[in-house]
């Protein structure tokens, strides 16, 4: 039994490129079902699912948001997700916890890059999917053009269930190809049946034939009937359509205008009648905590509990709100559950089902239901909640690596602790945010999906946690190394009133292959340096390497061998040998042909053909090496190796070049020598920075 007392529970996520109309569609569904009595507008900042202060001010979705409606005896929960690449984390979380995916495609712009990315995520998970072509009332909208675009992008299994009545500003209704009926919008989100226009009767007949052929191919027994010219019943067609959607052999297309409510009742009928119930999907597969042994659970309320946390909201006043999806079993109020990811029990207080920022309490939530609870002490995004007697860990949500970093420091001295607390809470809330202290450059770095993402993080620190920060571009973690083998001696001798200081060592410096780090070897013969002083030599070497030689960057990929020296029975000490070794390193570096190394990243840039030339030209201008190109749907993936120093603001550059249609990933590959003219600039910049400080 579900929380609503109704066995018909369905959920789906709304995905698509930024600006395609996802939030407007969710608002139209809420209005058509009577869940809200007035339809909001994204531009006016009064929609149900875009309620965050940043979302209102920017007129875009930043977070995924839940909304629950009732239609035709079915309780439907939808997740409105962000469409801009900077906020893809919440879209990735959402696709993991929904049973079906709705992809919104603009009737003006067609399929865009972020839609393709999320389509691939849904395909990886085997999620049933359908497409809604919206904005057909807009100027330059074209149903046939966009439908062809969808078929070219997503394959021949794309089947339209609707055709529009009218075009652009004359768009006024849809024809259901299965029933053969035409509908135009009445008031209050309801449709009325109207005669099929004579001009569309031929399109109706041919479109219906394509639908029946597609659904017949989803069922072998129906295919035989179809090939034998036996007329299929309405129930046979509906059943085969549901089967084809469930098995991903059919991707239905519906159409309308969310802002005007056209096609929305027909879309709700499709959602309630065709999309799969949770129990129709494959069993849940997880693992026994701490092992690779698989656990399989049916999506039944009678099975042991398994639920996945897909979002965490951190509020400095209200506390932590945890969003989850129940896959099996039942989660009840005022009970105890087990976080198998952390190995901790959690007390469950009040359970909520959420619509926008409104919360409704429920006594229990079962399979297929998405909800929230507050004040969990140990639980964070991607954790599994389960029965302690039947523990299971569900596969964690996998997020892409950050693409852009900023260095932050509190504007007010003394706010370091507040900054640390704020960043910790924001990392709980945002799995796409990474925070680390770069000890090489002595900066606190925040890393995220792009400029807008980090801008939102900085705004939240100020608005939610009262920490105003200064942001600067991160310093590039250059290194230094040597190209020649050299030998040098270092002697530290100092006489004071009592014991003096004496240390003397001979060092051999040799370059290592890139990435081999630091090696220290002792080849002392005959006790020239006693054993107890050798740690001092190594410490002195490490200290000198940390300070660098050319521009003060750490020295790497070098082997140092101590092979001779001398000591004083009274005045020698570990500290004296540390000082001697540091002097030897500095002397040797002058002859070792030292150079500066820079980090090189592997970058993959996904763009359509029209932007390929500009993107490759830009990468070449950034000292990049093009390593290859791979076709991917309608796009190309350009593989390149580029210096990190040239990529610090690449998310901004790529957006400018491609109008927001390009996406990229990058990861550290290796270090390479910096060209001489750039090395000279790095050295002069470092000297100037030291003089100014």
pLDDT of residue 4 exceeding 70, the answer is no
Residues of the chain with pLDDT > 70, as a percent, come to 97
Mean pLDDT of the chain: 92
pLDDT at residue 6 in the model: 42
Residues 171, 184: Cα–Cα separation, whole Å: 10
Mean pLDDT lowest for which of 219-233, 254-268, 536-550, 598-612?
Answer: 219-233
pLDDT at residue 635 in the model: 84
Q: What is the CATH number of domain 480-593?
A: 3.30.230.10
pLDDT of residue 207 exceeding 80, the answer is yes
Taking the CA atoms of residue 65, residue 125, residue 149 and residue 143 in that order, the dihedral angle to the nearest 10 degrees is -50
pLDDT at residue 439 in the model: 81
Contact partners, residue 612, CB within 8 Å, separation at least 6: 629, 636, 638
**Residue 496: count of CB within 10 angstroms of its CB:** 8
Q: Which residues pair with 65 in a beta bridge?
A: 80
pLDDT of residue 677 exceeding 50, the answer is yes
- Split at pLDDT 50, 70, 90, the class of 1 is very low
**Residue 539: count of CB within 10 angstroms of its CB:** 16
Give the distance, in angstroms, between the CA of residue 520 and the centroid of all CA atoms in the same chain. 41
Residues 634, 62: Cα–Cα separation, whole Å: 27
Angle at 21 between CA 16 and CA 27, to 5 degrees: 115
- Split at pLDDT 50, 70, 90, the class of 521 is very high
Angle between the 88-97 and 113-125 helix axes, to the nearest 10 degrees? 30
Residue 34 to residues 65, 254, 507, 617, Cα–Cα distance (Å): 19, 21, 82, 53
pLDDT at residue 317 in the model: 63
Instruction: Starting at the earlier edge strand, list the strands of the sheet with 501-511.
Output: 486-494, 501-511, 558-566, 518-522
pLDDT of residue 3 exceeding 50, the answer is no
Contact partners, residue 170, CB within 8 Å, separation at least 6: none
Whether residue 333 contacts residue 348, with contact meaning beta carbons closer than 8 Å, is answered with yes
**Residue 142: count of CB within 10 angstroms of its CB:** 17
DSSP state of 557: S
Fold of the domain built from segment(s) 9-280: Rossmann fold (3.40.50)
Domain spanning 596-679: which CATH class is it, in words?
alpha beta
pLDDT at residue 228 in the model: 77
Residues 85, 111: Cα–Cα separation, whole Å: 15
CA-based radius of gyration for the chain: 32
DSSP state of 272: H
pLDDT of residue 7 exceeding 70, the answer is no
Residues 665, 652: Cα–Cα separation, whole Å: 13
pLDDT at residue 178 in the model: 92
Mean pLDDT lowest for which of 12-21, 73-82, 434-443?
Answer: 434-443
Query: For 356-408, what is each residue's pLDDT tens digit?
Result: 989 899 999 999 999 999 889 899 999 999 999 999 999 999 998 888 899 99
pLDDT of residue 189 exceeding 70, the answer is no
Fold of the domain built from segment(s) 404-470: Alpha-Beta Plaits (3.30.70)
More confident residue, 511 or 497: 511
- Reported residue count of the chain is 693
pLDDT of residue 320 exceeding 90, the answer is no
- Split at pLDDT 50, 70, 90, the class of 550 is very high
pLDDT at residue 686 in the model: 85
More confident residue, 413 or 42: 42
Query: For 323-332, what is each residue's pLDDT tens digit?
Result: 999 999 999 9
- Split at pLDDT 50, 70, 90, the class of 225 is confident
Whether residue 633 contacts residue 116, with contact meaning beta carbons closer than 8 Å, is answered with yes
DSSP characters for 606-622?
EEEGGGHHHHHHHHHHT
pLDDT at residue 2 in the model: 43
Residues of the chain with pLDDT > 90, as a percent, come to 75
pLDDT at residue 5 in the model: 41
Whether residue 594 contacts residue 545, with contact meaning beta carbons closer than 8 Å, is answered with no
Taking the CA atoms of residue 409, residue 412, residue 418 and residue 424 in that order, the dihedral angle to the nearest 10 degrees is -20
Domain spanning 299-386: which CATH class is it, in words?
mainly beta
Intrachain domains 9-280 and 299-386 with the same fold: no
More confident residue, 223 or 454: 454
Residues 514, 508: Cα–Cα separation, whole Å: 19
Residue 649 to residues 154, 241, 592, 638, Cα–Cα distance (Å): 32, 47, 35, 18
Domain ranges of the chain: 9-280, 299-386, 404-470, 480-593, 596-679
Query: For 42-67, what is each residue's pLDDT tens digit?
Result: 989 899 999 888 888 888 898 999 99
């Amino acid at each position: 039994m579900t929380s609503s007392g109704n066995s018909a529970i369905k959920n789906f996520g709304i995905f698509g490129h930024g600006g395609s109309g996802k939030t407007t569609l969710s608002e139209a569904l809420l209005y058509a079902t009577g869940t809200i009595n007035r339809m909001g507008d994204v531009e006016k900042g009064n929609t149900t699912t875009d309620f965050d202060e940043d979302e209102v001010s920017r007129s875009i979705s930043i977070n995924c948001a839940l909304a629950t409606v009732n239609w035709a005896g079915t309780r439907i929960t939808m997740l409105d997700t962000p469409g801009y690449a900077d906020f893809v984390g919440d879209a990735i979380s959402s696709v993991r916890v929904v049973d079906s995916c709705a992809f919104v495609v603009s009737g003006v712009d067609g399929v865009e890059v972020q839609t393709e990315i999320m389509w691939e995520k849904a395909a990886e998970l085997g999620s049933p999917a359908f497409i809604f072509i919206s904005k057909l009332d807009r100027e330059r909208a074209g149903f046939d053009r966009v439908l062809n675009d969808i078929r070219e992008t997503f394959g021949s299994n794309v089947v339209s269930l609707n055709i529009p009545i009218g075009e652009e500003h004359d768009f006024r209704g849809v024809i259901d190809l299965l029933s053969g009926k035409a509908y135009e919008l009445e008031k209050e989100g309801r449709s009325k049946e109207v005669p099929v226009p004579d001009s569309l009767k031929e399109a109706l007949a041919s479109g219906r034939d394509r639908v029946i052929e597609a659904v017949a191919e989803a069922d072998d027994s129906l295919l035989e009937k179809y090939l034998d010219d036996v007329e299929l019943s309405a129930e046979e067609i509906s059943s085969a359509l549901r089967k084809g959607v469930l098995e991903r052999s059919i991707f239905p297309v519906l159409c309308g205008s969310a802002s005007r409510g056209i096609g929305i009742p027909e879309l709700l009928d499709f959602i309630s009648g065709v999309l799969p119930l949770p129990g129709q999907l494959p069993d849940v597969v997880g693992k026994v905590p701490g092992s690779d042994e698989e656990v399989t659970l049916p999506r039944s309320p009678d099975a042991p509990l398994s639920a996945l946390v897909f979002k965490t909201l951190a509020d400095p006043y209200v506390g932590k709100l945890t969003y989850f999806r129940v896959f099996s079993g039942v989660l009840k109020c005022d009970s105890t559950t087990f976080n198998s990811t952390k190995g901790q029990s959690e007390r469950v207080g009040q359970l909520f089902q959420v619509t926008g920022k409104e919360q409704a309490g429920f006594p229990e939530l079962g399979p297929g239901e998405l909800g929230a609870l507050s004040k969990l002490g140990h639980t964070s995004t991607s954790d599994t909640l389960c029965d302690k007697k039947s523990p299971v860990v569900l596969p964690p949500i996998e997020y892409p690596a950050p693409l852009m970093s900023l260095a932050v420091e509190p504007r007010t001295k003394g706010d370091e602790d507040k900054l640390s607390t704020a960043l910790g809470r924001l990392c709980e809330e945002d799995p796409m945010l990474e925070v680390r202290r770069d000890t090489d450059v002595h900066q606190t770095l925040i890393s995220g999906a792009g400029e807008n993402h980090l801008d939102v993080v900085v705004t939240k620190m100020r608005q939610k946690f009262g920490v105003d920060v200064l942001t600067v571009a991160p310093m590039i973690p250059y290194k230094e190394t040597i190209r020649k083998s050299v030998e040098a001696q270092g002697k530290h001798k100092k006489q004071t009133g009592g014991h003096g200081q004496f240390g003397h060592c001979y060092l051999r410096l040799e370059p290592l292959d890139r990435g081999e780090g630091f090696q220290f070897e002792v080849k002392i013969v005959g006790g020239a340096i006693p054993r107890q002083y050798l740690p001092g030599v190594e410490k002195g070497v490490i200290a000198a390497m940390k300070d660098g030689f050319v521009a003060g960057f750490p020295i790497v990929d070098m082997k140092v061998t101590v092979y001779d020296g001398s000591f004083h029975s009274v005045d020698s000490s570990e500290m004296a040998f540390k000082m001697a070794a540091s002097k030897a390193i500095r002397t040797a570096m002058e002859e070792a042909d030292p150079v500066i190394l820079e980090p090189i990243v592997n970058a993959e840039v996904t763009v359509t053909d029209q932007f390929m030339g500009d993107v490759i030209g830009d990468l070449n201008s950034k000292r990049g090496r093009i390593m290859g190109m791979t076709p991917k749907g309608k796009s190309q993936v350009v593989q390149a190796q580029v210096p990190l120093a040239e990529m610090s603001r690449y998310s901004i550059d790529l957006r400018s070049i491609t109008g927001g249609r390009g996406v990229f990933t990058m990861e550290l590959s290796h270090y390479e020598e910096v060209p001489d003219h750039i090395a000279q600039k790095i050295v002069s910049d470092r000297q100037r920075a030291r003089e100014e400080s």
